[in-house]
A and B are shown apart, each in its own frame.
Chain A
Amino acid sequence: MAVDRLSLTFGALADPTRRAILARLAKGGASVTEIAEPFAMSLPAVSKHLKVLERAGLVSRGREAQWRPAALEAGPLKEIDEWVERYRVIWEQRLDRLDEYLKELHVKEKRHGRKA
């Protein structure tokens, strides 16, 4: 995974309009005009948001010059999820070690004849 890609993803997701555009695209590909409709937004404004989403790899654009329909690319979001999963694993392993350590402490204590 590219190091800066996650930052780009977070940056792109920070804007509520862009998240709404992604939600719209989650239902299927759409042209700039179709995307702009529910937002009462100018076409250039939508294009600008789409460019940010495209740079983050969250959206891909079609080849047709006039239409350039946009479609959702969920890969980057999966990377965020993978990070969360990795963080979870780190802590699960830490707690495994803490568990072992607590058992060691308990055994040592018994050996020294003290009460828990």
Chain B
Amino acid sequence: MAARHSVTEDMATKELVIERVFDAPRERVFDAFTQPEHLRKWWGPKMVLIPVAEFDVRPGGKIFIAERAPDGAMNYIAGVVREVERPSRLVFAIHFANENGERVSPPVRSGLGAAWDGEIVSNVTFRAEGQRTRVTIRTERSGVTAEFSEMARLGWGEALDKLAHAIADDMRVDS
């Protein structure tokens, strides 16, 4: 497994940035990312089926994704497309929903508190690099993690990093 991301680095940035280069032209990647018949092939983990996928790729367009876990449990994601510039840019916001697409509390396994009612805003750029395409997903830490940058500003990053190391050391001693 890759080295765990440093706590300090996570907290020092206002966004979570995930990047990947695909060996395919930009239009192809953009469409695979946004067209429901493609999206359902990669959105969920291997054993999770996506019986319903709506991704209306235009500003204000509706997003609705139904995920069925192997045990039959359903999870619904709903949201809205905010900005689109095919094939270079996409901004969308999603939240946990019920089968009618109405916002609900995060499911327990999401790891988020039941009272959390924020939405997750992702800003995706598709940049051509020759025949390849670099996809960068920037996720705002609003709601979930806006406090992080503030804590970092206050000099918390180092303290937390130390703590993380201390915990790791403890676990080594225990095992």
Residues of A near any B CB (own CB < 8 A): 1, 3-11, 13-14, 16, 19-20, 22-23, 26, 72, 74, 77-78, 80-88, 91-95, 97-103, 105-106, 116
Contacts and interface: CB of A to CB of B under 8 A. Distances in A.
A9 B143 CA distance: 12
Interface in B89-144: 108, 111-116, 120, 135, 137, 139, 141, 144
A69 B46 CA distance: 51
Given A8-B113, A91-B139, A98-B32, 20 more contacts: A11-B115, A14-B147, A19-B151, A20-B154, A22-B151, A23-B154, A74-B159, A78-B160, A78-B164, A81-B7, A84-B145, A93-B45, A95-B18, A97-B42, A98-B22, A98-B42, A101-B38, A102-B28, A102-B32, A106-B24
B24, B111, B160: residue with the most chain A Cβ atoms closer than 10 Å: B111
A22 B111 CA distance: 24
A83 B28 CA distance: 31
Contact residues on B (Cβ < 8 Å of other chain), bracket:
35 or more
B33 A83 contact: no
B29 interface: yes
Contacts of B147: 10, 13-14, 19, 80
A98 B111 CA distance: 24
Contacts of A20: 154
Contacts of A72: 159
Contacts of B159: 26, 72, 74
Contacts of A5: 113
Contacts of B4: 85
B7 to A, nearest CB: 6
A81 B11 CA distance: 8
Interface of B: 4-5, 7, 10-11, 16, 18, 20, 22-25, 28-29, 32-33, 38, 41-43, 45-46, 108, 111-116, 120, 135, 137, 139, 141, 144-145, 147-148, 150-151, 154-156, 159-160, 163-164, 167
11 contacts: A6-B116, A10-B147, A19-B147, A19-B154, A77-B160, A84-B16, A84-B141, A97-B42, A102-B28, A102-B32, A105-B24
A1 B114 contact: no
Contact of B145 (A23, A80, A106): A80
B18 A91 contact: yes
A95 B29 CA distance: 11
8 nearest A-B residue pairs (beta carbon): A7-B113, A97-B42, A23-B154, A7-B115, A6-B113, A13-B147, A98-B42, A95-B20
A76 to B, nearest CB: 11
Nearest to A6: B113
A99 B20 contact: yes
